[in-house]
Amino acid sequence: MHRSAPRLTRILACAAVPVMLVVAGCSSDSDGKKDADASASASPQVTKSEPTVEAAKFAELPDPCSSVAAKTVKSLVPSAKSKNGTRGKSSDSSARGSCSWNGLADKGVKGSQYRWLDVGFTRFASDQTLGSGAARAGEDFTKQVGKTEATDGAKNVKSEPVTGIGDQATKVTYDQSKADEDFRYTTIVARTGNVVVVVNYNGAGYAGSKTPTAETILKGATMAVKDAVAAVADANGSKETGASPETKTSNSPSSSATTKKSD
């Protein structure tokens, strides 16, 4: 009996060893999990953001019927039916607008001279999905030049970049016959910032009067488009002095969304 007590003590001591190891093992796993959680929470959270498109340069369009100076209209269409012009319909005047003038100057036995002038504006807003207003206007610029070059019945079509008008500009000159009369045409498509301007000017001689020269019609269209481009800047409280800072070196043909009116 005296010998059994020490033996019992040894058995209990050995039985306690696995329990202690289990407890120690659990404690170690718990500490490891806490360290991992702390490390994860300390790591920086990376968030992806889409690049912001460039803000549109112009927020407003000018009154199209006031965009060409009165003295310019008088010079180009001396016998205009309406000196104030005929305003085109638009569902959103802040995005697009147009105006036209036309008239027949009777010169008696020397015949008559007919003239038509119209100007159109299209403004493009910057859009995160569609791109910047300037880029969108550039695409439309190209389309409008191509559309003019493809005018039905146009003859002797010539296109050429023009410098000193907005950020990019292209002139398209051509001839066309209507009702047995020969017409001379010039269309100038210009982009200033996020706005596309399209000016059409044409003329013909009636009752024996000579057809106006290509140079005369080109000069008139150039006068009108310079007025119109300057009017965009004025409508937005800035001053247009030729090409704006974002002007690129290339003047690749582009286009505008205004619709050319028939003569």
Q: Give the pTM.
A: 0.73
Tell me if 172 sits within 8 A of 149, measured CB to CB.
yes
Residue 41 binned pLDDT confidence (cut-offs 50, 70, 90)? low
pLDDT of residue 180: 84
Tell me if 255 sits within 8 A of 117, measured CB to CB.
no
Longest CA pairwise span in the chain (Å): 155
- Which residues, in sequence order, are CB contacts of 108 under 8 Å at separation 6+? none
Residue 22 binned pLDDT confidence (cut-offs 50, 70, 90)? very low
pLDDT greater at residue 90 or residue 36? 90
pLDDT digits (tens, 9 = 90+) for 204-255: 999 889 999 999 999 999 999 999 999 999 999 976 544 433 433 333 333 3
User: How far apart are alpha carbons 92 and 121 in whole angstroms?
Assistant: 12
Is 248 exposed, middle or buried, given 0-12, 13-18 or 19+ CB atoms closer than 10 A?
Answer: exposed
- Which residues, in sequence order, are CB contacts of 163 under 8 Å at separation 6+? 169, 243, 251
pLDDT of residue 51: 74
Helix (H, G, I), strand (E, B) or coil at 61: coil
Average per-residue pLDDT in the chain? 82
